[in-house]
Amino acid sequence: TPADIGVIGLAVMGRNLARNFARHGHRVALYNRTPARTDALVEQFGQEGEFVPSHTLAGLVAALAVPRRVVIMVKAGEPTDAVIDELAPLLEPGDIVVDGGNAHFADTRRREAALRARGLHFVGTGISGGEEGALNGPSIMPGGTAEAYRSLGPLLESIAAQVDGRPCCTHVGPDGAGHFVKMVHNGIEYADMQLIAEAYDLLRHAAGRQPGEIAGIFREWNRGRLESYLIEITAEVLGHTDADTGRPFVDVVQDRAEQKGTGRWTVQIALDLGVPVPGIAEAVFARSLSGGVPQREACRDLPGPTETWLDSAAADRFAEDVEHALYASKIVAYAQGFQQIQAGSAEYDWQVDPGAMAAIWRGGCIIRARFLGRIEAAYQADPQLPTLLADEYFRKALGEAQSAWRRVVSTAAQLGVPVPGFAGALAYYDALRAERLPAALIQGQRDFFGAHTYHRTDREGSFHTLWAGDRSEERR
């Protein structure tokens, strides 16, 4: 019998995806550049399902049912192109090539166009959930033609995480849409992690709580509206004790956050699209700042506030305030990410349904959370929603949180605890609700030094004031 699907690249991710397909009753053809990996998979996990190993790409192609469905799961970048170049000539029109790696959506657009010209379908697919998700049910974000999805979708949906009986996989849109949405998912993940880290920092350095106690607070929060994978693992990490030293694990880890680049991509693309995603940008910059060792060394003895702790009664109330501030800031960060998805969709004419993205992120992926059901509902109620902040539920949550949120941000400033995420989110909230922004003044400055012109509130057209002359106004 021919195989239902092929997997190329059998490192951790590919191996686990292949096993996931097999465990769901699909016959899986296998190929890896280094044959030992292929053999090891069959040897160790062969009993989990039906595998058809091959030591050549041609062998893998020959093993597949037509139209062929092949998932490439190799290192993103040049290796992906190398595999496509070798694979494409072996395929026939109508065959479907899936790239499940962390590709940049612009690369996916390029590859899709090249394969489309050869009559092949190219499905750039975001896959989130890491190693564990790949094996037990990831969140899957496939981009490509509707025709390809008709053939491929049922296989992907069968191996995806399931929430309330619905698979965490849906057709995102054409060409680069899937990888774009995966990129924004990662950007949101950065922002969410930064906000959680700030909440910890406040509980530790303003409220004076110890890591073990803070783990308890996060566990408590995880029973409420903040329930999410990231909050859950935060409690685990904070509750962990280093075996060597007996100290809290979080105190023996170097405080320099690293990154692989998908958060940075999100911000770079947001800049290109002109979408404000300060929450994601702050999170990326906060990681870079933490790694700025010479700058941090040089600034260690700069003066700070004289007051450094809350008294114990205030500290108890403060923990509740931090929960509000975290929830509100999280709404803002997700609102920014979803606006970026809408902007990308409009720019590339992808017709992405933002509510459906929230739905497929409810399980399998790193940002999975109860909260995403609210986002899905918001877009169901109004598919044209300009921002999540305007949704009835979120508007109410922000309204209820705002006094606590302001107390947290001002306390942080007074006690010298850096909260770029919380403070930036509050500024974003206040900017969007402002009746008038000082952007009017900036327009005046631009017109003054560069004759860039401005629009008036009371008349149509572009205007310029003769700043160096008699300051009369001309229409431009």
CB burial class (10 A; 0-12, 13-18, 19+) of residue 35?
middle
Least distance to ligand NBP, CB of residue 74, Å: 3
Q: Compute CA distances 275 → 106, 184, 287, 471, whole Å.
A: 18, 12, 21, 35
Q: How far apart are CA 191 and CA 283, in angstroms?
A: 5
How near is the Cβ of 294 to ligand NBP at its closest, in Å? Answer: 31
The span from the CA of 183 to the CA of 20, in Å, is 23
- 170 forms part of the interface with ligand NBP (CB under 6 A): no
Both tokens of 235, joined, read 């409690």
Separation between Cα atoms, residue 11 and residue 17, nearest integer Å: 10
Could you tell me which residues are beta bridge partners of residue 30?
A: 7, 53
Q: Which residues are annotated as a binding site?
A: 9-14, 32-34, 74-76, 102, 128-130, 185-186, 190, 260, 287, 446, 452
Q: How many Å apart are CA 380 and CA 373, to the nearest integer?
A: 10
Burial 158-175, CB ≥16 within 10 A → b, else e = bbbbebeeebbbbbbbbb
- Closest separation in Å from C-beta 49 to ligand NBP: 19
Look up residue 54 and give its two tokens. Answer: 């091959």
Phi, psi of 160 (to 5 degrees): -75, 165
Triad 459, 463, 466: Cα angle to 5°? 135
Q: Scanning the structure block, which residue is given the tokens 């902007």?
A: 343
Query: What gap in Å lies between CA 98 and CA 21, rounded to an integer?
Result: 14
Return the structure tokens found at 50: 């039906």
**Strand ranges inside 32-171, DSSP E:** 51-54, 69-72, 96-99, 121-128, 139-142, 162-163, 166-167
Burial class (CB in 10 A: 0-12, 13-18, 19+), 291: middle
Residues contacting residue 16 through CB under 8 Å, at least 6 positions apart: 131, 134, 135
Which residue, 39 or 227, has its beta carbon nearer to ligand NBP?
A: 39
Binding-residue pattern over the window 40 to 79 for ligand NBP, x denoting contact by CB under 6 A: ---------------------------------xxxx--x
Q: How far is the CB of 304 from ligand NBP (least distance, A)?
A: 39
Looking at beta carbons only, is 71 or 319 nearer to ligand NBP? 71
- Give the per-residue contact string, 107-146, with ligand NBP (x = CB under 6 A; - = no): --------------------xxxx----------------
Phi/psi for 122 (5° steps) reads: -120, 120
396 given a catalytic annotation? no
For the CB of residue 16, give the shortest distance to ligand NBP in the complex, in Å: 8
Q: Which stretch binds ligand NBP (CB under 6 A): 26-34, 106-114, 388-396, 437-445?
A: 26-34
Query: Which residues are known binding-site members for substrate?
Result: 102, 128-130, 185-186, 190, 260, 287, 446, 452
Q: Does 351 bind ligand NBP (CB under 6 A)?
A: no
Cβ proximity to ligand NBP: between 102 and 411 the closer is 102
Among 6, 53, 101, 187, binds ligand NBP (CB under 6 A): 101
For residue 98, the cross-strand partners are 71, 123
Q: Which is nearer to ligand NBP, 33 or 406 (CB)?
A: 33
166 touches ligand NBP by CB under 6 A = no
Q: Judged by CB, which is closer to ligand NBP: 177, or 409?
A: 177
Among 14, 142, 174, 239, binds ligand NBP (CB under 6 A): 14
Q: Indicate whether 84 belongs to the interface with ligand NBP (CB under 6 A).
A: no
CB of 180 to ligand NBP, least distance (A): 15
CB of 77 to ligand NBP, least distance (A): 8
- Cβ partners under 8 Å of residue 201, min gap 6: 417, 418, 419
CA distance linking residue 143 with residue 115, whole number of Å: 14
Smallest gap, in angstroms, from Cβ of residue 79 to ligand NBP? Answer: 3
Task: Give the residue carrying structure tokens 């995880």.
Answer: 222
Exactly one of 25, 34, 154, 413 binds ligand NBP (CB under 6 A); which one? 34
Is 435 in the active site? no
Distance CA 437, CA 65 (A): 60
Residue number of the CB atom closest to ligand NBP: 101
Which residue in the set 32, 108, 266, 342 belongs to the binding site for ligand NBP (CB under 6 A)?
Answer: 32
Q: Is there binding between residue 184 and ligand NBP (CB under 6 A)? A: no
Total residues contacting ligand NBP by CB under 6 A comes to 23
Binding residues for NADP(+): 9-14, 32-34, 74-76, 102
Q: Which residue among 112, 182, 198, 282 is the active-site one?
A: 182
Active-site position among 48, 78, 147, 189:
189
* DSSP tag of 88: G
Residues with a catalytic annotation lie at 182, 189
| Binding positions for ligand NBP, rule: CB under 6 A | 9-14, 32-34, 37, 73-76, 79, 82-83, 101-102, 127-130
